[in-house]
A and B are shown apart, each in its own frame.
Chain A
Amino acid sequence: MHMEKEKSWGDWIRELDDPAKNREKPEALDHITVLDVSYANMAGCFCTSTLAEFGANVIRIEPPDGDPARTFSPWGYMHMGTGLGYLNEGRNKHHVTLNLESEEGQEIFRKLARRADVVVETFLPGTMDAWGIGYRQLKELNPRLIYCALYTYGQFGPKAACGKADVDVVDQAYSGVVSVSGEPPEDPQNPKPSEVPTKQGNWMGWYAGGAWASVAILAALHYRVGSGKGQFIDVSPAEAYGRCINYGITYYYGFKDTIPRVGNYDVGVFPYTYFKCKDGFAFLSGFADPNWKALCTIINRPDLQQQFPTIFERLNVDNMKVMYKEIEKWTTAHTYDEIFDAVMDYNKNIGQGVVVPGRISSPMDTMKAENWWVRMALETIDDPHYGEVTIANHAHKMTETPPRVKWICRPVGADNYYVYARMLGYGPKRLEELKEKGII
């Protein structure tokens, strides 16, 4: 008699959540219809991409000449008429056109909204309301509707009516994150143009805004299950991103000071930064007392541990500079692989405290690393219109209802016939009329 050996945790769970099997599983949100009227704003588009990746039926409504966001692309690079930023967030959506400034367009929108679950919009506050298709009007037609408006300064408050545009760089600046990111001047008398508060390279403000909007919409959806009630949701991408701040407001309140920019240091954790090594840069950490001891053991510098035994010594910026130099003596004498192996060997074989190593990858290095392909974090898909494309998938691997990308985008108005026929019964003749009038 022999018992079948119990599967290791990793093997067991992979069998259940491997994204290679995504397409055999149901979708979490395939009962939900979303109308997305985002305009020149990727926060709205990312929110509805996310809902669509989890299965929602998203109808992406653009003006007849397309959303200006279709031109958001590095140096204007276009693939089959669409910029890469937009192309990436057209996922699983049906693309229709509708002129919301015309009365007939508004009437059509009202018809669609009667039967929708969610509306997402990014116009200046009050725009949809003035068109007679804001939440105030739509909730009368559809009390179950969840309506989410995204705008830098929100839908109420002293700045809501300011009229300024919502652009990612503005959201990042207002969030507070930029003020604590970037290198401080090496010579304060002669700061370089690159030694200034610095934004993230990607549209981080918009992505955080879209993510919070998704969370709020899904929470509202859960509330609707029990109550039958829809609601109005106001998301500022700037605040959404600002919620990711470590501790700006409390620090000011408690100590009448602001958190300074310290480049790649961290004012709350040391060591936790990038070090030069023989062939590039390595990240190393060892903050909590046992982890710090582990790092000092690995680099064979027990004296450092004695000299800086508690976080009070280690979070003093002058001491940080001293410790940094000492640790760097060791890192510069080794290659990245040697450092990685030394640390992992310690973690595995001695394992009192943990030191965490990592490499600073360019996204091209990242794209070449096998790990992300095995895990389908990156995937090359064959889009029915745009051809072969490489995308990043949502990180969730789920046993029952994983997210997935079915197509990457559609051209402007590509689904007009399908969506208007299915939702409103409009045939080719009616669509031709609407087209002539500039409605679609």
Chain B
Amino acid sequence: MAREDYFKWAESVLDPSKTFEKPEALADIKIVELCTLILGPSLPAYLSELGATVFKVELPGMGDTMRSLTPFAKFFNGAAMGWLKEARNKYHLAIDVRVQEGAELFKELVKRSDVVVENLRAGTMDKWGIGYRQLREINPRIIYIALNGFGQWGPYLERPSYDAIAQSESGEAWISGFPDKLPMKAGIWLADYYGGLVGAVGVLAALAHRDRTGRGQYIEYSQAENLMRAMDWTWLYQHFTGKCRERYGNRDVSICPADIVPSKDGEMVAIGAATDKQFQGLCEAMGKPELARDPRFATHLERLKEENALELLATIRQWAAGKTYGEIDELAGRYGFGAQKVSNGKDHFEDEHLRKRNFTYYVDDPIYGDFYEEGIAPKLSETPGRIKWAGKPVGFDNEYVLKRFLGLKTKKIKYLKEKNIIGKWVDVPPGRKPPERWDGKSGILLA
């Protein structure tokens, strides 16, 4: 009963349907983004969900290459689906920062902002006169983060990078996948999305420092190094044993049992027990309570020994093959071990639990229409995360932002347009312009 009461209370304080009645944690923070693809743009997207105002600056015309990244070249209402994941909540500006007047506009934005995020090649911003060296002079409170493959100095300085390179050079690909297959590249842009995420930790830590001291700072960030930090026991293991960490498929060689096995009804089911108690529960569920007392399996350190682990995992695999996922799921709840079928986009879309929690998020966008996407990860009781709009075509918010935030006169804006300092989308390649069925006015902010 006490637990029922707890869940009622938890839902009452976290209820996502009340999101827009509550304030935002980063409502006072403005971010200027000069980024392409994912590593850079994902960071302000995350912080925008927590309330930051983001000015995404692209080059007029083509804009961010990310506007092309979509599975099998299928666009959703004219938008690349990869781009939708990071376009949310941003103001989309197109300024040619490579020319002086464009760089001046960029600086005006930075003057009024708290954070700059860029992921260009090391030194590019400096060369354009809008790097940290110049920007800290006009705004000493600025927190500036530069994200890329290998950093701003060091032996790999000249090397360009991508997500897949960070995955392979860090060793992450090598330790993932099955021994009889090639090292595995994750099916997602792991080093990018996870890189932007941990990059955001640095920005917020810098903000905590600035909240106390008023001082901004510069953050240099390599996505390959970030993945190395996430490779748990790899470095200690290699340090102590001199052996290379290899790849071991779906079993976890450091937690036993933990594996992904087929069920009777053809699902792939992750099954795991991280404590003795969870393991005892699993043994009971399998109808083999004696296993938990067997000296080969009674303690975690015994279970982790290779021959014991192999035997135990084989037993579990055999048991699962005779049960449906529904049965395994029910037993896992009753006996308190971990079990979850491998879920895909369809499962997430249909999952009432994830919808309720705003992970599967419904967006009703004035330009791109209504749809569902991966939404909010952390739920905050006082300042819940949210998606306000899906994204905008290239340069869509130029006039509004230049007027509202920079106070430019209409004439000046017109002049900038005529001189191609600011601009809008091109029709080709796709993903830049508004969707075909756009009515020519929805979503436009009056300026």
Contact = CB atoms under 8 A, between A and B. Distances in A.
Given A164-B332, A315-B73, A358 B6 contact: no
Contacts of A161: 3-4, 7
A100 interface: no
Nearest to A194: B178
B410 interface: no
Interface string B334-368: 10111111111111110011101101100000000
A373 B76 CA distance: 44
Contact of B373 (A154, A250, A370, A389): A250
B249 to A, nearest CB: 6
A268 B186 CA distance: 13
A246 interface: yes
Interface in A233-247: 233-236, 238-240, 242-247
A317 B72 contact: yes
Given A249-B345, A268-B71, A272-B164, A50 B238 contact: no
Interface stretch (B97-105, B197-205, B394-402, B414-422): B197-205
Nearest to B70: A268
Interface in A70-102: 71-79, 83-85, 87-89
A422 B299 CA distance: 36
Given A84-B233, A358-B161, A201 B340 contact: no
A40 B258 CA distance: 13
Q: Is the interface of B mostly helix, strand, loop or mixed?
A: mixed
A361 B169 contact: yes
A218 interface: yes
Given A84-B236, A244-B194, A247-B85, A172 B270 contact: yes
Interface string A197-210: 11111111001100
A176 B250 contact: no
A398 interface: yes
Nearest to A365: B171
A407 to B, nearest CB: 14
B102 to A, nearest CB: 20
Contacts of B73: 311-312, 314-316
A91 B248 CA distance: 27
B372 A250 contact: yes
Contact of B253 (A71, A75, A360): A75
A336 B223 CA distance: 22
A178 B206 contact: no
A261 B71 CA distance: 12
Contact of A201 (B131, B175, B373): B175
Interface stretch (B10-18, B286-294, B438-446): B10-18
B168 A75 contact: no
Interface string B61-75: 000010011111110
A394 interface: yes
B113 to A, nearest CB: 15
Contact of B3 (A32, A130, A356): A130
A162 interface: yes
Nearest to B373: A250
Contact of B343 (A173, A311, A380): A173
B81 A247 contact: yes
Nearest to B171: A363
Contacts of B126: 9
Interface stretch (A281-289, A298-306, A321-329, A413-421): A281-289
Contact of B232 (A85, A263, A281): A85
A371 to B, nearest CB: 5
Given A164-B333, A173-B340, A400-B217, A202 B241 contact: no
B327 interface: no
A425 to B, nearest CB: 28
A312 B234 CA distance: 40
A220 interface: yes
Interface stretch (A104-112, A223-231, A432-440): A223-231
B283 interface: no
Interface string A259-298: 1011110111100111000000101010111000000000
Contact of B172 (A172, A202, A223, A400): A202
Contact of A76 (B164, B184, B305): B305
B155 A215 contact: no
Contacts of A89: 232
B304 A73 contact: yes
A194 B249 contact: yes
A242 B359 contact: yes
A113 to B, nearest CB: 17
Contacts of A385: none
A245 B188 contact: yes
A356 B165 contact: yes
Nearest to B80: A268
B255 interface: yes
Contacts of B139: none
Contacts of B241: 77
A75 B228 contact: no
Nearest to B247: A201
A200 B175 CA distance: 8
A390 B85 CA distance: 36
A399 interface: yes
A268 B193 CA distance: 15
A431 B218 CA distance: 45
Contact of A215 (B15, B127, B204, B208): B204
B379 A233 contact: yes
A253 B371 CA distance: 7
30 contacts: A8-B123, A9-B123, A13-B152, A54-B201, A75-B305, A78-B301, A84-B254, A85-B254, A129-B9, A155-B10, A160-B7, A164-B337, A166-B338, A169-B255, A170-B340, A181-B186, A199-B260, A218-B204, A218-B205, A218-B207, A219-B51, A231-B383, A236-B377, A238-B340, A252-B348, A285-B162, A311-B73, A314-B73, A360-B183, A398-B220
Given A202-B176, A255-B74, 4 more contacts: A221-B204, A246-B82, A252-B345, A398-B206
